[in-house]
Structures are given as structure tokens and as C-alpha cells.
Amino acid sequence: MKLLTILIFSGDRFNIKELLNDISKLNLRNINVRVVEWSENKSVLRKKNKIYNFFKKFRKNFKVYYQKGNWEYKYSKYINKFNSKYILVIGDDDRINVKNFEKLEKYLKNDLSGITLSFQNFKKKEDIKFLKDLSKTKIRPFNLFKDLNKIGFTSCQIINVNFIKKIIKKEKQYLLKTKLPQNFIILRIIKKYGNWKILEKNCIYNQLGSFDNLWIKQNLLIRLKSEYLGYFIPLKKYYPNLKDNDVDKIYKHIFFKNIISWLFLSIRYFGKKKTFENIRSERKILQEPIIIKFFLFIIYLSPFFLLNLLRICRRILLKINHV
């Protein structure tokens, strides 16, 4: 049995060639590579199949599956399909920081529930610098209060497959309800088995997405709702006995780290009224902290130029505090 399966969901993009090139530089004796290809564009498929066929010539542990359906359906179908100790789901537009990723092997030989990898954002290929990192590897236990938002970065989660198989039947009903299905699996595993680690060494290059008008129209409001659903439903489900002040602490961390950026983006394209109506039910999943209620009230009353100022201030504060 291989140590790791790298599972890639790929559609009408050709970035996967660069990701596969990264993977080919790894020690593949212990790695399976699987692609779920969902494009229905015949022209795109012909070009991508040339990429896949070229890769197959050199890698016996490489397979491609052709599957239609939305992201949540494909995720729930394939997340426990493969026989390896761990699985990593990564986007076809992301990249692997090979030098750091290679250092994972020693941890994968341990019986962990999973590992959350650190990442670095990039916009252009020139932003990626495969430099040898000489700093000491830092790996530490998962902390619910400061790490919950990190499990939402799908491409940074290495999950114990055996534990997925043990809990998937009970969790599958939730996986089709949010753009963050992996959060339900990970938080359930952490609650039940513990021993989840955070690796503070950049192993993934995460490409910052660009949104076209069609994506915005079809997905943006759903994506905002999913930030509430994907974090707060599993938190409420698996940690029902948390004290109110602990829930407040986690809620504020998720809101200012994750939700607020999608909130600003939604207001920009759909306006305040439609945005706030969109999340009316989701705001009731957990008791909303007073400071969040006040902040949202200020946002609702503020003119757009002031919202841009608030958004810039948030970015500066996040950089200063490294949160």
C-alpha cells in the first residue's frame, strides 16, 4: 500500500500540466496520482488527454477518471475510493513546493489522523520560487481556536484514509450541502481520533483565483453561505459542549479570517440587501457575537468607499498579526 494518494479534480484548464510536473519530481515510489477529469469540452479533452498519456508513459501509478457532476458530488464519490494510507486533494491550478513537500515522508510513516500543510499564495508563475528551505520543520498539534479556519483550504489537507472510511457513511449526508465538504470529515476525525498536526512549512503554492462574470453569477452567493455552513455546522455538531465564550472566540476568528472577504465581494457584486438576505438563516447557526452584530450593522450602513477602507485595514491587520 502506498503512503499517499494525490487526488486532482480538473476541468476546463490546462494548469494541471505544471502540477503534474511538480509531482513527477517527488519520490513517487510511495505516491499514487489520480485525476478526476470533469471537462465535457471535446477540444479541451483532446489536449488534456495528450498531457495524461505522456505522464502515463513514465508513471505506472497514475490513473484518470472521467466524472461529471458538481464539486461536492465528485468529492463524496472519490474521497474514500483509493487504497493508500493518506490522501491529499489538490486543485489543478495549485502547485507543490517540492523541496518542502519531500520532507513530509517521515511524518506520513507515523499513524496520524492527518496533517494540515502551510501554503503560500501566488498570482503568476513568476511568484513561485522553489528554494531550498533550511529552516527547522515545525509540526504541532491542531488547536481548535486558532486552526479551525485552516482546514477549509482543501489543497492543504493530508487525511488518514482509514479514518475517512470509518466515518464517511455518517458524514456523507452533509457533504453535498456546502462548498466545504472536507471540513465535516476533518473535524469529525479530529474530534473522534485526535492526533491531527499542523505543519508550519510551506508545502503548497495556492493560486489566487480570478472570477469571471459567469462564476460570480452562479457561485458567489453560495460560496458566502458555505463559509457559515462549512465551519459552523460541524463545529456545532461535533463540539456541542463548548462554552459560550469559546464559541465566540472561534466565531470571531472564522469571521475575520474567512467570511468577511466573501462578504465584501458579495456586496460589491450583489449589493448589501441581497447579500444580507442571502445569509439571514446562516447567521443563526450559532449565536452571533455582539461584536459581529455591531460590525455587520456598521457595514450595512456604510457607503461603499468606506467598505473599501475597512477591507484594506483588515488586510493590513492580518499581515501585521500573521493570523
Q: Is the pLDDT score of 108 beyond 70?
A: yes
What would the pLDDT profile of 23-70 be if each residue is shown by its tens digit?
A: 999 887 899 999 999 998 999 999 999 999 998 877 778 999 999 988
Predicted pLDDT of residue 280? 97
What would the pLDDT profile of 268-304 be if each residue is shown by its tens digit?
A: 899 999 999 999 999 999 999 999 999 899 888 887 7
What would the pLDDT profile of 258-269 be if each residue is shown by its tens digit?
A: 999 899 899 989
Cell of 34: 489520480
Q: Is the pLDDT score of 321 beyond 50?
A: no
DSSP for residue 147: H
CA–CA separation, 213 and 69 (whole Å): 21
pTM for the whole structure: 0.90
Closest CA to 264 of 310, 297, 212, 232: 310
Q: Which residues, 6 or more positions from 210, have their beta carbon under 8 angstroms from its beta carbon?
A: none
Do residues 148 and 250 make contact, with C-beta atoms less than 8 angstroms apart? yes
**At the top level of CATH, which class does the domain 2-207 belong to?**
alpha beta
Residue burial 106-137, b: 16+ Cβ < 10 Å; e: rest: ebbeeebbbbbbbbeebeeeeeeeeeeeeeee
Strands 196-207 and 95-96: antiparallel
Cell of 236: 456545532
Predicted pLDDT of residue 322? 45
For the chain, which residues make up each domain, given as ranges?
A: 2-207, 213-321
**Helix, strand, coil in percent for the chain, rounding step 5:** 55, 20, 25
DSSP for residue 28: G
Q: Is the pLDDT score of 184 beyond 90?
A: yes
Predicted pLDDT of residue 217? 85
What are the C-alpha distances in Å from 108 to residues 35, 102, 199?
21, 11, 12
What would the pLDDT profile of 136-182 be if each residue is shown by its tens digit?
A: 678 999 999 999 999 999 999 999 999 999 999 888 888 888 889 99
